[in-house]
Amino acid sequence: MTQTAPDILRIAVAQLNPTVGDVAGNLAKAREARADAARQGADLVLYTELFLAGYPPEDLVLKPSFLRACEKAAQDFAKDTADGGPGVIIGTPLKRKSGTHNSIVFADGGKIIAERYKLDLPNYGEFDEKRVFQAGPELQGPVNFRGVRIGVPICEDIWGDIAVCETLAESGAEILLVPNGSPYYRAKIDVRHQVVIRQVIETGLPMIYANQLGGQDELIFDGASFAIGADKTLAFQMSQFEEAVDVTTWKRKGDSWVCSEGPMSKIPEREEADYRACMLGLRDYVNKNGFKNVVLGLSGGIDSAICAALAVDALGEERLRTVMMPYRYTSKDSLKDAEDCARALGCRYDIVPISEPVEGFKHALTQLFEGTQEGITEENLQSRARGTILMAISNKFGSMVVTTGNKSEMSVGYATLYGDMNGGFNPIKDLYKMQVYALSRWRNSHVPPGALGPSGEVIPKNIIDKAPSAELRENQTDQDSLPPYPVLDDILECLVENEMSVDDIVARGHDRATVTRVEHLLYIAEYKRRQAAPGVKITRKNFGRDRRYPITNRFRDRS
């Protein structure tokens, strides 16, 4: 019997937050979303890349039992479609004779009607798929779903140079549905839109782009799923940083499909997007790893203040303990500012003086240090005493330590190993100092959606206005050791994000001696960054996944 092609197709996009390795939990989440989509009248549900495994699964893919669990989940989910409800396209790793593939399973009527394998495996920046996957052996054509020919390229298949979409169009595809695991960085949505528009122009076909949501270690998947119609206009736009199962209605008009109904969500501006990315990353890292609460050192400075605000927004005031650890150089302003911040956020605030442990360390080292001048070593004893106290609280109460160093400090080594670098996760690791200030001002005027913290000024104005200081010696400010932060941040962005030469940076108006000094500090701090806690990726090039420099490195740009 010839199947009559429908004139209306209702496609649900499941923009969900899976957990890597939680195959049973991810399957349950997929089933719940399918039931939701069915209630909304969907014909088909599109899930995201490697949904059943969680993305990116990294070397879990090398474990045979993990692959078996994923495939069984896919088979069980396919059986669910025997109920006459919507079909499904869901991502999973599959081991076949041709290798282990990043795949999708297309199921309908109680069985798997097609498998498709990713052809273009990304191997740059945060991606390392060629290490664990093999590319699909050949491009397979569109899938006939209830009379509609659907092409399913997988993520990088639309980003790279392989003509996957064009070939699908030539093979008779009528619409392209793309499961993705595209991590967030600032302004990434615009990049995705341009990638899809290019493919729409080349194929003449509408494209639905479904993107994963949630935090996975350093990576943030921000959702913001969307579609571009054949006329190259935005057909629908889903929310960013929020789970959703949205049903979109597509109608056949001539030889094309047009979206007649779908969400059109507003995308957050820069500061809001960055703040919500940091908040989501911290929340998922804490919750997915099973921590009940967190603790951080609240110094009265801007970095610890914004981390406290992020923790309360992400987890709630009852799950954050803050600790002020004063020493002789701690100013009265810092004591007041820290207390005011904790009070504004409503979180627990403790004071643990560090005079005795610091003096004890100094006394123990008196003989060894005899005849030397006091300096950075003694200053760092303060930081390490604080780090030890926070780790003791962590061990005693099971609280994860939130570490609070910004990207400017991490870049030039202005942080103490086994001191203020102690911790399990850093929500501002990829924010330069001036970005920390910008987000702090933004948070004082806004409460982001989903935040559990209060409205109003949660970061006291004095913290934002005063000169930043580590307060490890009398009258110390950061600018005693570093260039002014606006200058430092611009130089660092040139060196790190843009890989610019010293000459090009000097041509922007910077002092050559300052640029070469910052470059030197950047290189020699690599060993510290290798030992730092993971943290949310916000920029195009974060430390760790994106920027991998050798620790032993004598190169300096002196051309």
Does 519 qualify as catalytic in the annotation?
Answer: no
Pick out the residues of the known binding site for ATP.
297-304, 404
Pick out the residues of the known binding site for L-glutamine.
124, 182, 188
Q: In angstroms, rounded to a whole number, what is the distance separating the alpha carbons of residues 300 and 201?
A: 53
Does 266 qualify as catalytic in the annotation?
Answer: no
Does 155 qualify as catalytic in the annotation?
Answer: yes
Q: Could you please report the per-residue DSSP string of 130-192?
A: GGT----SS----EEETTEEEE---GGGGTSSS-HHHHHHHTT-SEEEEEE--B--TTHHHHH
Q: In angstroms, rounded to a whole number, what is the distance separating the alpha carbons of residues 308 and 346?
A: 10
Q: Average pLDDT over the chain, rounded to whole?
A: 93
pLDDT in tens, 168-203: 999 999 999 999 999 999 999 999 999 999 999 999
**Does residue 269 register a pLDDT over 90?**
yes
Catalytic option among 70, 155, 278, 341: 155
* Predicted pLDDT of residue 1: 44
SS3 of residue 323 by DSSP = strand
Q: Is the peptide bond before 326 cis (omega within 30 degrees of 0)?
A: no
Instruction: Sketch the domain layout of the chain as residue ranges.
Output: 9-257, 271-530
Quote the tokens at residue 517. 């000094």
Q: Could you please report the per-residue DSSP string of 177-219?
A: EEEE--B--TTHHHHHHHHHHHHHHHH---EEEEE-EEEETTE
Quote the tokens at residue 280. 């989501």
**Is 290:279 a contact under the CB 8 Å cutoff?**
no
Catalytic option among 29, 70, 71, 118: 118
Which CATH architecture is the domain 271-530 placed in?
3-Layer(aba) Sandwich (3.40)
**Does residue 477 register a pLDDT over 80?**
no
Pick out the residues of the known binding site for deamido-NAD(+).
380, 409, 528
* Predicted pLDDT of residue 123: 80
| Fold adopted by 9-257 | Nitrilase/N-carbamoyl-D-aminoacid amidohydrolase (3.60.110)
**Is 497:530 a contact under the CB 8 Å cutoff?**
no
The pLDDT confidence band at residue 86, using thresholds 50, 70 and 90, is very high
Give the full edge-to-edge strand order of the sheet including 244-253: 111-117, 99-108, 87-96, 44-46, 8-15, 244-253, 256-261
SS3 of residue 556 by DSSP = coil
Burial class (CB in 10 A: 0-12, 13-18, 19+), 321: buried
Catalytic option among 49, 218, 272, 519: 49
Q: In angstroms, rounded to a whole number, what is the distance separating the alpha carbons of residues 230 and 316?
A: 44
**Does residue 518 register a pLDDT over 70?**
yes
**Does residue 544 register a pLDDT over 90?**
no
| pTM of the full structure | 0.93
* Predicted pLDDT of residue 466: 86
Pairing of strands 44-46, 244-253: unpaired
